[in-house]
Amino acid sequence: MKASIIRIGNSWGIRIPKAFLEECGFRDTVELEVHNQHLVIRPINRPRTNWDEAFQQMAHRGEDILLDRESFSNTTWDENEWEW
């Protein structure tokens, strides 16, 4: 597909079809890079998106327990010296 470069205020831009935006997962902001004279547009990487919901679901299912609890036994210092 070809697109025209258009003037937008003091900048320049292109119109991107809605279907392209949806397929690429673009939202309000994107990352722009130039590689070997090519403009690369990619969605912003949000690696922890929806973690809060996933943790709530884990807790609801009882899957949020510490699996290696035995390796974290309290020491004398933990029991006598540690304060919150």
d(CA 37, CA 42): 16
d(CA 38, CA 11): 18
Q: In the chain, where are the structural domains located? A: 1-66
pLDDT, one tens digit for every residue, the chain (84 residues)? 899 999 999 999 999 999 999 999 888 899 999 999 999 999 887 788 889 999 999 999 988 887 776 767 778 888 888 887
The position carrying tokens 């809060």 is 52
* Cβ pair 65, 76 in contact under 8 A: no
Q: What is residue 69's DSSP assignment? A: G
Q: In terms of CATH architecture, what is 1-66? A: Ribbon (2.10)
Kindly state the helix (H) or strand (E) to which residue 23 belongs, with its residue range.
helix 18-24
The pTM assigned to this predicted structure is: 0.48
